[in-house]
């Protein structure tokens, strides 16, 4: 079964607008971590934001915020004030406590920012 589901293969967003990238996950663990990574065309994976399952507040890092809804098992990424440099592939990933820090990745969402 898919552990991480990203249902949006591609999205377009206007510069300076906000965009929300969907991510749902499946786990029976109580302790887990959720990550978002950005992969530009160069290929490097850039860590954006982390949310622990026991964190009560939504994580924020600059223009990135994670909308964590535990009961719904969703961890959507919100990018505010989009910039042209935000055009990239975005991956949601989960680390489960029992799984020795391995990450399960979603299929990814390609974001294209238009001027």
Site track 92-111 with another protein (rule: CB under 8 A), x = hit: ---x----xxxx-xxxx---
Q: How far is the CB of 2 from another protein (least distance, A)?
A: 11
User: Distance (Å, rounded) from C-alpha 86 to C-alpha 90?
Assistant: 10
For residue 102, what is the DSSP state?
Answer: P
Are 23 and 3 within 8 A, CB to CB?
no
Nearer to another protein, 65 or 109 (CB): 109
Q: How far is the CB of 33 from another protein (least distance, A)?
A: 6
Of 47, 54, 97, 98, the one binding another protein by CB under 8 A: 47
11 CB neighbour count, 10 Å cutoff: 15
Of 15, 26, 44, 61, the one binding another protein by CB under 8 A: 44
Nearer to another protein, 79 or 95 (CB): 95
Q: How far is the CB of 60 from another protein (least distance, A)?
A: 16
21 membership: H or E segment, kind and range: strand 19-21
Write phi, then psi, for 98 (nearest 5 degrees).
Answer: -80, -10
CA 59 to chain centroid, in Å, comes to: 11
Question: Which chain residues interact with another protein by CB under 8 A?
Answer: 33, 35, 37, 42-47, 50, 52, 91, 95, 100-103, 105-108
């Amino acid at each position: 079964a898919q552990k991480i589901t990203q249902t949006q293969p591609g999205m377009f967003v206007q510069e300076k607008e906000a965009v929300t990238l969907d991510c749902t996950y499946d786990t029976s663990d109580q302790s887990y971590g959720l990550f978002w990574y950005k992969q530009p065309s160069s290929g490097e994976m850039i860590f954006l934001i982390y949310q622990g399952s026991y964190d009560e507040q939504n994580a924020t890092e600059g223009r990135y915020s994670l909308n964590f809804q535990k009961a719904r098992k969703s961890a959507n990424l919100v990018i505010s004030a989009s910039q042209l440099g935000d055009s990239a592939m975005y991956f949601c990933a989960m680390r489960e406590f029992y799984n020795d820090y391995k990450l399960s990745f979603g299929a990814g969402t390609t974001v294209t920012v238009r001027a």
